[in-house]
Structures are given as C-alpha cells and as structure tokens.
Amino acid sequence: MSNKGTDAIASPYVEVALPVPLRRVFTYGVSDPFRGSLRRGSRVAVSFNRRKLVGVVVSGRENLPEGVKRAVDVAGLLESEPVFTPELLRFLEQAAKYYMHPIGEVLRAAAPALPAGAMKRLRADGFLDAEENLPGQRVAHHLTWEIRATDDDVGSVRLGARQKKLIELLRGRDSMFLDELRSEISDPRSVVRALAEKGLLTFKEVEANPDPFFRTPVERDVPPPPTAAQQHAIDAITDAILEQRAEPFLLHGVTGSGKTEVYLRAIDEVRKAGAGAILLVPEIALTPQLVGRFRARFGDDIAVLHSGLTARQREDAWQALRRGRVRVAIGARSALFAPVADLRLVVVDEEHDPSFKQDEGFRYHARDMALLRAQYAGAVCVLGSATPSIETYHRANEGKMHLLSLPSRATGATLPTVEIVDLRRHRHGPTGHPLLSGPLHAALGRCLDDGRQAILFLNRRGFSPSVRCEGCGAVAECPACSVALTEHRGQGALRCHYCDFHRPIAAPCVECGANEYHHLGVGTEQMQHAVEESFPNARVARLDRDTASGEGVEAVLDRLRTGAVDVLVGTQMVTKGHDIAGVTLVGVVLADQSLAFPDFRASERTFQLLAQVAGRAGRAETPGEVILQTFQPEHPAVRLAAQHDYEQFYGEEIMSREEVGYPPFARLVSVRVHSGAEADARNATQHLADTARQHQAVRDGAVQILGPAPAPLARLRGRYHYRLLLKSPDRKLLRNVAALLAARIDQGLPPTHATLDIDPL
C-alpha cells in the first residue's frame, strides 16, 4: 500500500471538497505557512462565494486548472491531524463515485461535526490557537453519584412518594447512577440525600462514562462453548482474518442460532491481533441488550456510536478509534464511517434490514458500502441474518460470497409453532374487538394463565390509521401531505405521520362541520386498549414511536425482561433482535399489512418481518407459539414464513424477480424531483426523461425508463414529488445514462430540486 495519503502536500495548489450540492472539487492556493502542513484528509477553512466554508483537502496539484487565472488561498487549517485516515478517505471517494453524490457532501456526512467555534479560534495566520483546544485532545470527565442500597429495613421507615419510587428502582440492583434517575424522579439529588440521612442508601461521587450505554455496570461473561455449526463459521471467518484474505461471508442463521456469538468470537480474534472491527446494527436504540453483550465480553474496548452522543462525545469516540485506543466500533448505519485503526473486520448484523439505507441527503446503503469498505481496507466482511435479503443470498449462491449456515437454535430450543388464522373467517373474537380473533384471544388467555409473556406486533401506531367523517364521508387528510391523518386517542389529536401537522380530534370536520368520526382500521393504541379490556388483570405496555419518545425503548423492554409487563403491543420495534426468555407467545395482528405496498420488495419485506417477529417466541426452554392473523393465508410470504422455510421463499422470489427483471437481475436508479408547484415538478421530470432518451442505450431499449410518475407520497410537507426510474440489466450502460442526468441536474433545473438515488429501496 502506498503511503502517499499520509504525506504532507508540497504542491502550490490543492483540490478541496466542499459541502455544496455540486459534483466537483475546487482549487485553492497554498500560501507559505501552509506549505507542508496540509495533508490529504485535512479539514480547511476556505472562502466560497464570500462565505467561509469548511472543506476537506483531497489532493495537491501543480498548476491551476485550464482557463482559471488565479485561485484564492486556503484561509485556515482546522486540525493538525487529518480527520480522515487514508483508508477511510479512499473508501469515501469511491462511495461518492458509486452513488454519483457530491464528494464534499459525502465527506461532511461521514465526518464528526467540528466543535462549536472552531472557525472562530483560528488565529490571524490561519492556524488554531493552541493544541489543547483541538478536538479529542481533552479527556471527557463526567462525575456522577453511584448509589447503593444499604441492608436497613425499608419497611419500618416512612417514605414520601419520590423516596418510595427511588427505593423501588434500586431494588434488585447492585447500584445505579444519579443520571439514570433524572428521567424518573424530579430533583433526584435531594431525594438521594434524604434517603441517605435515613440510612437507606449510600452514595459516592464517581467518574462515569457519560454515554447512557455505559451507565449500568456489566459483569464479564463466560463465553459458551460454540456449537459445531458456530465453530465451523468462526473458523472460516477467523482464518480469513488471520490470513488477511479480504473475503465476504454471509452468515445465515435462524433466529436464536447464535450469530452474535460468532461475531463476538471473530471480533475477539481481531482484537487479539491488535487490529480493529466495526459492527453495524439496524437501530442502536433498539439493541441495548446487544451492546450489553459486547460490553460483557470486551469491557470498555468498544465505542458505541449513536445519535444521542453530543458533538464532543462523538469527536472523542472518533479520536479513540483512530488512534487505536478503542478497537471496536458499534453503531447504526453511520458507524460505517468509523475511523477504526487497522480495520480487519466489518460485520453487518440483520443485513436485510431496510434501516441500513440512508434515505435523505447522501443516499447510501450501509450494507453494500460495508462490502466496499472492507474490500478497500483489505478486511473481512460478514453479513448476518436469519432472513437474508434476496440480493445477498443471490450473491452467495453465485459464489461471490461464502455461505455459512447455522440451521438450529444454539440453546437447543426449537423454533416456534406457527398457527395461521384466516381473518376472513375470524374477524372479531369473543370480545368483539376488531383484530382480536378467537384463536388469538384464546392463546393470550392460556399464555397469561401460565404466567408467561406475549408480544403482539402491529405495524401501525395510533388508535386508528384513519378516520372518516360520519357527516360527509370524507377521510381526514393532512393539508400538507397526501396522507390520511392518524387518530391518537390518548393525545386527543389527529396527526400526520410525515409532518408536524395535528389538530384536536374534537374539532369539526373541515369539509362539512359534522363532529362524529368513524374509525378505520386498528393501530397499536387501540390494540393495547383491546387487550386491557379483554384481560383486565394483565399488565399491558406499548412500544412504538409514541411511547419510545416518553419512557424510552430500553425502559419498556426492561419492564418486559423483568416480568413487570405481561403483554407488549408494538410496531416493528418489537421485531428486532430482542431475546427475552419469558416470551412464549407472539401474535402477528395483521400479517399482510406490508404486502399492500406498491413495491417489488413487499413480499420479501413481509417474509422478513414475519420470520423475525416469530423468532422472538420461545427462545428459552418453553416452546414458543406464534399466531399469525392474515387475510391472505395462501400468500407465499405468509405461508413460508409460518413454515420457517427461507430457502423455499428465496427460490420462489428469485424466480419472479428474474421473470419481471428486477434486482438482482437488473439495477435501478431513481430520479427524484420535487417542487412547490405540481406542474414544475412534472415538467422538470419530463425534461429529464427526454434528456435520458437522447442516450443511445435508452433509444435501443438497453436501459428502460419508467415514468415520469408522481411519487408514492405525491405531496409531502407541501411539496410535490415526481419520480423517474431507470432500469437495466447492464450496470455500465445504466450508469452512463445516470451520469448524463447528473450533468443535466448540475446545470440546475429551477425552481425544482432533483436528486439521484442509486439502488433505491
């Protein structure tokens, strides 16, 4: 590997990537003080259109570009060490090329934000004031109280409400930190002091990791001896790591088969070799349990990158990884950009999950880019899933990845039995609540009688997904988006799930002034009420975006784990990798809901959701049971998910993809145009379609053009969205046509805004 990237740039000019929506770099001069100080990946301050912008140096150059007479000089250097390592920068340049996205925007999306005021701290000569002020040089100190219960008898002491609550929270735990109490109890400091005076607890000031993922102490675990299938997978992966073969693997293991244990072992090998690893997970907020397992194995040798970090914490994590002080980065899709030193392994857990696709700004797919980054870094890439994406499984079948299988559960538990309930015959059960069918009601009753727990999955939050006016029959819609308003009964509001619009449910119909609504469909809030009414003794909780913003996901899951909740009703948040022993029943309230999307991946998505949620049941000794309610019991996605038959599903799905020519047999590029006026959006999209038709590959049919058509959500936050879809089995020709459109977009299409989406989801 050349070390050209690490060397200082001695040339008189540099190319700088700026965070502007233009697919190019900009030339700046290098004045004396900066000669020899700038490096590839350095962040610099430059003037651009009379503004000061932060850009990244990507290369040096000896002369000005043709036709350019002079260049402004770089105005300041914002860090003594480049923010990007050479390996990371090369990967990001390639990613920008692949997605045809402006390199400056890609680099800005990948780098941690500069600390506030960094620009202002530049001295007159363009250098930073003092080295200590540089990001990451300071060790973050965070002091908090660690609180422990004493053995004194609580029963004999009179306590106030907040004091009682704190004692309750402390029960059954070794210790807790003051910070954890802030969301539970107001002014926790005084409550702690009062209880200490009564002799019921002790506290002391300690230095703590400010990251909530590190608050609770975790005991080191004892790794279980691997099963034969696990051992085979671990060996294959670690051999590749140790022999430095940059090969990709697909780890296909049923739910509960011990994929995480394979990741842990492989990452451990990497650490023993003194190298680093990245683990990407779908949504970090939903996987505190997984982070706990990594801490139990690796202690503090992990950095968890998540959106809850402050800019300073993110910067500290970034520096720790770069310098190799911390070897393992864990996070959602953006952890793909972690500057892990000597990267040898990239793992993508639940690789099929749609959340790996970033759907605004720099639209990338973190799973696809994980493969690219690993390849560039000379690292091994492991994609893991119980329900691999069709594209990934196809790749493995073609021999482009090694396939490793874990066919049974690691603990010896069996996969749950699945009963399909045909909703055309069983709509309302004995209680009359819609979607609480007789069989589901009976299964819940049995589960609760046995003192076990259940999860009910329904992918719609709110009380009713829409409401219809009894007076005029109009469905209440958002004034800014082309969607129905969802009824949220607890909040007394009708809400748009795409913008902030909401209005009181008591307000009269905007069409006719009547004031009675007919509820259409069932959401999680209604399902929760239905279960509470049908089983008055059950403790029912809800997990969706409405409840998560209040109590927090972790707190809700904790209540399920500790047995404080009998039934958890929730959206797809309940389908992710939770491993809760007491859960023996999973009810899928409406299995065919996701089949309704006008998308060639609807069937795949449904199969994945159903198989994943079913996998939550019966993970311990007691066998699990799944009730799958559906209007389409014969649909392959439903039928085969019920039989846990991934191979069969894949076989049917891949055939139909081939027939209609969709990925992986063709590639797609989507062009998105939006504007405040519908005609403008439509005309600009039509213009781009006409532009594409000038290309030979479109004229002779090698690249197909679908559209222009209104986007699935034609109006969003008051703007009109149009689409054009380019499709071709020939990747090169498709990219040529896309490049032609990119060039046209770069010339500007006012008053519209147009973007490309390569490999759209």
Among 15, 261, 477, 487, binds ligand ADP (CB under 6 A): 261
**Does residue 259 bind ligand ADP (CB under 6 A)?**
yes
Residues in contact with ligand ADP, counted by CB under 6 A, come to a total of 17
From the list 256-264, 276-284, 518-526, 598-606, the region that binds ligand ADP by CB under 6 A is: 256-264
Tell whether residue 258 is a contact of ligand ADP (CB under 6 A). Answer: yes
Q: Per rule CB under 6 A, is residue 411 in the interface with ligand ADP?
A: yes
Q: How far is the CB of 487 from Zn ion (least distance, A)?
A: 15
> Residue 480 binds which one of ligand ADP, Zn ion, none, with CB within 5 to 8 A depending on kind?
Zn ion
| 478 touches Zn ion (CB under 5 A) | yes
Judged by CB under 5 A, the residue of 246, 499, 555, 725 near Zn ion is: 499
* φ/ψ of residue 512, rounded to 5: -130, -5
Least distance between ligand ADP and beta carbon 252 (Å): 10
Q: Which does 226 bind (CB under 5 to 8 A by kind): Zn ion, ligand ADP, none?
A: ligand ADP
163 forms part of the interface with ligand ADP (CB under 6 A): no
Give yes or no for a cis peptide into 112 (omega within 30° of 0).
no
| Residues sharing a CB contact under 8 Å with residue 703, sequence separation 6 or more, in sequence order | 692, 695, 697, 726, 727, 728, 730, 733, 734, 737
Phi/psi-derived region of residue 216, left when phi > 0, alpha when psi is between -120 and 50, beta in every other case: beta
Restricting to residues 578-597, which ones interact with ligand ADP according to CB under 6 A?
579
Q: Which one of ligand ADP, Zn ion, none interacts with residue 259, CB within 5 to 8 A by kind?
A: ligand ADP
When binding is defined by CB under 5 A, the residue of 318, 501, 535, 720 that contacts Zn ion is 501
- The single residue among 284, 481, 591, 733 that binds Zn ion, judged by CB under 5 A, is 481
Torsions phi, psi for 344 (to 5 deg)? -120, -15
The answer to whether 217 and 206 are in contact (CB under 8 A) is no
Question: Residue 356 or 501: which CB sits closer to ligand ADP?
Answer: 356
CB of 394 to ligand ADP, least distance (A): 22
Burial 595-624 (b: 16+ CB within 10 A, else e): beeeebbebbbbbbbbbbbbbbbbbeeeeb
Q: Is 288 in the site for ligand ADP (CB under 6 A)?
A: no
The footprint of ligand ADP on residues 220-239 (CB under 6 A) is: 224-227, 230
CB of 263 to ligand ADP, least distance (A): 8
Minimal distance, residue 721 CB to Zn ion, in Å: 13
Tokens matching residue 548: 């998560």
CB atoms closer than 10 angstroms to residue 143: 10
d(CA 374, CA 377): 5
By CB atoms closer than 10 A (0-12, 13-18, 19+), residue 196 is middle
Distance CA 472, CA 509 (A): 9
And the tokens for 750? 């006012």
Over the window 422 to 461, marking each residue x when it contacts Zn ion by CB under 5 A and - when it does not, the resulting string is ----------------------------------------
Which span (43-51, 219-227, 296-304, 504-512) binds ligand ADP, by CB under 6 A? 219-227
255 makes contact, choosing from ligand ADP, Zn ion, none, with CB < 5 to 8 Å by partner type, with ligand ADP
CA 590 to CA 522: how far, in whole Å? 10
Nearest to 426 by CA among 630, 625, 613: 630
Q: Which does 481 bind (CB under 5 to 8 A by kind): Zn ion, ligand ADP, none?
A: Zn ion
- Residue 758 binds to Zn ion (criterion: CB under 5 A): no
Closer to ligand ADP by Cβ: residue 261 or 269: 261
Q: What are the residues facing 345 on neighbouring strands?
A: 277, 380
Q: From the CB of 481, what's the least distance to Zn ion, in Å?
A: 3
Residue 230 or 606 having the CB closest to ligand ADP: 230
Q: Which stretch binds ligand ADP (CB under 6 A): 142-150, 257-265, 630-638, 641-649?
A: 257-265
Q: Are 423 and 631 in contact (CB under 8 A)?
A: yes
410 binds ligand ADP (CB under 6 A): yes
Shortest CB 410 distance to ligand ADP, Å: 3
Token reading at 62: 């000896």
* 63, β-bridge pairs: none
Comparing CB distances to ligand ADP, the nearer of 223 and 718 is 223
**The two structure tokens encoding residue 278:** 């990245």
Residue 477 CB, nearest distance to Zn ion (Å)?
A: 9
- Tell me the β-bridge partners of 581: none
Q: Which is nearer to Zn ion, 644 or 715 (CB)?
A: 715
Rounded least distance, CB 510 to Zn ion, Å: 14
- Check binding of 498 to Zn ion (CB under 5 A): yes
Q: How many CB atoms lie within 10 A of CB 335?
A: 24
Find residue 673's DSSP bridge partners.
722, 754
- 3-state SS of 487-531 is EECCCCEEECCCCCCEEECCCCCCCCCCCCEEEECCCHHHHHHHH
Structural contact between residues 236 and 171, judged by C-beta atoms closer than 8 angstroms: no
Could you list the residues that contact Zn ion (CB under 5 A)?
478, 480-481, 496, 498-499, 501
Could you list the residues that contact ligand ADP (CB under 6 A)?
224-227, 230, 253, 255-261, 410-411, 577, 579
